[in-house]
Structure 1
Amino acid sequence: MGSYCEGNHKLNFISECFVKPTEVANNETYHYLGGSDLYMLSMGPIQKGLLFNSKPDNISSSFLRKLKKSLYTSLVHFYPLAGQLVTKKFDDEHKCCFYVDCNKGPGVRLIHASVDYTVPDILSSTDVHEIVNSFFDLGEKSVNYDGHTRPLLSVQLTELLDGVFIGFTINHCVADGTSLWHFISALSEIFSQLNDDQENEDNNYNQISVSKKPIFTTLFPDYGYDKIFKLPYLEPEEFIFRYDPGPLRVKLFQFSSKSIAMLKAQANEECGLHNNISSFQALCGLTWRSITRARNLKSNQDVNCVIIMNLRTRIQPPLSSEYFRSCLWAGISESNVGDLSGSGLGRAALLINQSIKMQDEKTIRIMFNHSEEHPCVVQPGPQSVNYRPYGVVVGGSAKFDVYEPEFGLGKAIAMLAGYANKDDGKVTANPGREGGGSVELEISLTPETMNALELDEEFMSFTSSST
């Protein structure tokens, strides 16, 4: 047993193993990555996990063994997650392409660890507790390009004194939030069907059902894109940058269904519209305005709000929610501080509404054609060609079924994220545990900006509680 430290907090490493199926649902060996997948090579993985306030008996033997069996069985269907990234170079063209070799690598990493903390210790922290970062891949930092040598998926089971945390780290080149929660739900579904005495991981997988099987196809095959999508690089030094955002405070803010309804009504009334602005757009408008005020910027400073959207629903015909890739799009709203602060909530929400509506089938086709002609890798932080200082980036979704997976432990008491892709102004939306349209925002800001946000009367008046 070893130990890992996150700040002043220690995590005890117990064991690890790798899980790789001997059979898969079809015979595909190579899973090629397209332009929208490859945008993410220099970004961090996705890290989401569930905190349970119950702890099974014999966790090291019975529960961990059952989790391993469930993971093995799920990978029969989600087979690319057990592979590794491979680069194929075209020296004469100074280009390269990437694919997942489903047979390469040791498989999915399954980690077992423990901490001397209770569930209330984690939840009572003013900000997201620092130890949570070590609940994912033991706190080891990486970017998606590292999928050449690191597992594309890792699952960490961390024992608390009175509960457990199951953390998932998945490579963002092969999955987005929709795909990750699809996998987690399938894993929990398989877990619920297993008997505790099913120990042999090489049989009976075909007797276990998965209600929503993943779909692995090339994005937009009717667009005429080549299966092999080439990037204009040869060496990783040309396009991989490891970004450190510096000290941040990360905090969870809860918005009840009542507060969300009030925000929507206010935004529509101020714009003279009738339910044209959605609840989520109103919430994003509030958050954009509030963070901008907290930064105390000059009135002529340009600011923007980037909304990361699920591309599956924005094309015709829509792609299935089981379509398994990184399938994201962005709408960008722009203003200056004076106009944003001098107008009400409605104007900010309307700007977001308009930028989202612009992302239609025609726009997406134009942008995909452009990305094929000028492929690139998105860079984090100020290195990005699209970087705008003092921006707000909203990702995640309040529609994900994050509290559906239970793993025999009952409903999770919290959903928490790791260190990956945090930056000043990053906002991640998740459904509130109470349901009914409630929303939880995870907000990352510099310490001085977070301090000011906590004193913002308009913003805090809508929050039901904060952690």
Structure 2
Amino acid sequence: MGTPALRRISECFVKPHRSNHLSDQICNLTPWDIAMLSVHYIQKGLLFKKPATLLHENDFIQNLLENLKHSLSLTLSHFYPLSGRLVTHKTQNPPSYIVSVDCNNSDGARFIHATLDITIADILSPLDVPPIVQSFFDHHKAINHDGHSMPLLSIQVTELVDGVFIGCSMNHVIGDGTSYWNFFNSWSQIFQAQSQSENREYDVPIARQPIHNRWFPNNCRPPISLPFKHHDEFLERSEKPLHLRERFFHFSAESIAKLKAKANSESNTTTISSFQSLSALVWRSITRARSIPSDQKTTCRLAASNRSRMEPPLPEEYFGNCLHAVNAETTTGELLENDLGWAAWKLHVAVKNLDDRVVLQYLGEWLDSPVIYQMGRFFEPYCVMMGSSPRFNMYGSEFGMGKAVAARSGYANKFDGKVSSYPGREGGGSIDLEVCLFSHTMSALESDREFMHAVSEFNPLRF
């Protein structure tokens, strides 16, 4: 018997509850935003258990859907660029190619209700993430440039036998992971407040009001004109490789504390962070599992937010992209001949060196010669890329069903060596890693003694 098929029950569009004078504007994009035009949407979501008391009530899902739509409309009043569309303005004389966001002239955000006849256990029991999880997200395989004709935000609520998955696809040109989770957390906050209020029309004050005033370097006057005549010159649609396995590994707070102590002890320091220690373990273990020649170059990249690194710093509430990929590079031989502390120190130095001066230099070079990131060309074959962040408040988002059982992602932005980090559900500094590797490399990683010794036993179904 094959896997049950997902059924789309309904689809509609949701607009901001109240428009404001800003939502009528054209939003100019920064270099950080424009660079994302050829990569996929952000696809992240949360899996909830249906409340046992409501499991057999027919109106449970209808009430949930209505409350989700209404609170989404209120949330979009704060995050109005998400209800817009991308627009391109071209002129021949003088030559100009400008991509921006029209915040007003669109149908709004898409909202989908779907059903699938499987259980939470069907999703969480297999070692690997089952491919059916990709169907929990709209905009399958879409790249951000498709936001000219597709919604910049699409929510899909998938009803399972005993659970509900809320999946969100957000255009990466509009914002990064920090922006994404601020939107998601704010939506949850508004949902909770609405469900406890008699007055559904009042505006809920949110904890972290997004700041939409996009930041540009001093020598840059928006809008930015790109040196292209047609989007075919900078777009590439890369398929996720076949034989790519995706698996979650759990690291308890205790296990990570041991890794951190080991890395600092071996480097004779106290400044290496928990995440740098874990990333060093992952880099070394995946490189060992790949069985590549000792003189082969290998890179570990960490996605870092620039907000706190700018002078003056940008607030956490800054809505947009504000990312920089921090690199540590060596040969396979050197990485594996040295200890965990050596690798962790390399990552520590790379992160420490990322400051305002480095970011401004990168932006200056980008403005001289704009680069649109492309999956196929941006990452070397022996790279390990650490994306997302365990600092994001994923499990703080509740929608009347209690704390989520698990966080999962869609098809988007996956390749061999991509590792996404999530906070562990139990909190306290625990971390889950979503690891994407070719099948043979994943099998080798699962047999890697150092790596598996640090992985913690974890039963996601005990909640």
TM-score (norm 1): 0.93
Whole-angstrom distance in 1 between the partners of 2:310 and 2:201:
35
2:183 counterpart residue number: 183
1:4 counterpart residue number: none
1:354 Cα deviation from its structure 2 partner: 1.1
1:367 Cα deviation from its structure 2 partner: 1.2
Matched, 1:443 2:444: no
Please point out which of 412, 426, 434 is paired with 2:418: 426
1:242 counterpart residue number: 237
Cα 1:129–1:413 shift into 2, 3 Å: same
C-alpha contact (below 8 Å) 1:218/1:227 kept by paired residues? no
Summarize deviations over 1:386-423 as a string: whole Å, max 9, x none. x3221000011111110001111100010111110000
Summarize deviations over 1:343-365 as a string: whole Å, max 9, x none. 11011111111111121111111
2:342 counterpart residue number: 347
C-alpha contact (below 8 Å) 2:71/2:191 kept by paired residues? yes
Matched, 1:100 2:95: no
C-alpha contact (below 8 Å) 1:333/1:355 kept by paired residues? yes
Matched, 1:321 2:316: yes
Whole-angstrom distance in 2 between the partners of 1:104 and 1:262:
53
1:21 Cα deviation from its structure 2 partner: 2.5
Please point out which of 398, 402, 405 is paired with 1:410: 402
1:211 Cα deviation from its structure 2 partner: 2.3
Structure 1 stretch 59-68 or stretch 92-101: which is displaced more?
92-101
C-alpha contact (below 8 Å) 2:6/2:135 kept by paired residues? yes
Whole-angstrom distance in 2 between the partners of 1:311 and 1:300:
33
C-alpha contact (below 8 Å) 1:24/1:77 kept by paired residues? no
C-alpha contact (below 8 Å) 1:44/1:172 kept by paired residues? yes
Whole-angstrom distance in 2 between the partners of 1:350 and 1:325:
31
Whole-angstrom distance in 1 between the partners of 2:153 and 2:268:
47
User: Secondary structure of the equivalent of 1:74?
Assistant: helix
TM-score (norm 2): 0.94
C-alpha contact (below 8 Å) 2:74/2:203 kept by paired residues? no
Matched, 1:334 2:329: yes
2:228 counterpart residue number: 233
Matched, 1:378 2:388: no
Equivalent residues in 2 for 1:201-240, closer than 5 Å: 205-220=201-216, 223-240=218-235
Write the letter of the residue equivalent to 1:393: M
Whole-angstrom distance in 2 between the partners of 1:195 and 1:432:
27
Structure 1 stretch 313-322 or stretch 249-258: which is displaced more?
313-322
1:94 Cα deviation from its structure 2 partner: 4.3
1:60 Cα deviation from its structure 2 partner: 4.1
2:11 counterpart residue number: 16
Matched, 1:272 2:243: no
Whole-angstrom distance in 1 between the partners of 2:226 and 2:299:
28
Write the letter of the residue equivalent to 1:341: L
Matched, 1:61 2:62: yes
User: Secondary structure of the equivalent of 1:465?
Assistant: coil
Summarize deviations over 1:276-297 as a string: whole Å, max 9, x none. 1101000000000000000000
Structure 1 stretch 277-286 or stretch 229-238: which is displaced more?
229-238
Write the letter of the residue equivalent to 1:40: M
Write the letter of the residue equivalent to 2:114: A
Whole-angstrom distance in 2 between the partners of 1:226 and 1:106:
30
1:207 Cα deviation from its structure 2 partner: 3.4
C-alpha contact (below 8 Å) 1:193/1:208 kept by paired residues? yes
Structure 1 stretch 95-104 or stretch 35-44: which is displaced more?
95-104
1:85 Cα deviation from its structure 2 partner: 0.2
2:111 counterpart residue number: 110
C-alpha contact (below 8 Å) 2:140/2:411 kept by paired residues? no
Whole-angstrom distance in 1 between the partners of 2:117 and 2:324:
41
Superposed structure 1 runs of 4+ greater than 6 Å apart: none
Cα 1:196–1:278 shift into 2, 3 Å: closer
Cα 1:22–1:439 shift into 2, 3 Å: closer
Summarize deviations over 1:117-161 as a string: whole Å, max 9, x none. 111111101101211100001x63200000000000011100010
Whole-angstrom distance in 1 between the partners of 2:11 and 2:365:
44
2:126 counterpart residue number: 125
C-alpha contact (below 8 Å) 1:96/1:234 kept by paired residues? yes
Write the letter of the residue equivalent to 2:150: R
Whole-angstrom distance in 2 between the partners of 1:169 and 1:415:
14
How many residue pairs align between the two structures?
A: 451
Write the letter of the residue equivalent to 1:293: R
**Paired-residue identity, %:** 44
1:196 Cα deviation from its structure 2 partner: 8.4
C-alpha contact (below 8 Å) 2:84/2:102 kept by paired residues? yes
User: Secondary structure of the equivalent of 1:428?
Assistant: strand
Write the letter of the residue equivalent to 1:84: R
C-alpha contact (below 8 Å) 1:301/1:337 kept by paired residues? yes
1:3 counterpart residue number: none
Cα 1:241–1:9 shift into 2, 3 Å: farther
Equivalent residues in 2 for 1:273-312, closer than 5 Å: 273=269, 275-312=270-307
Equivalent residues in 2 for 1:359-398, closer than 5 Å: 359-381=354-376, 383-384=377-378, 387-398=379-390
Give ranges in structure 1 of 5+ residues lacking alignment. Answer: 1-6
Write the letter of the residue equivalent to 1:280: F
1:375 Cα deviation from its structure 2 partner: 1.3
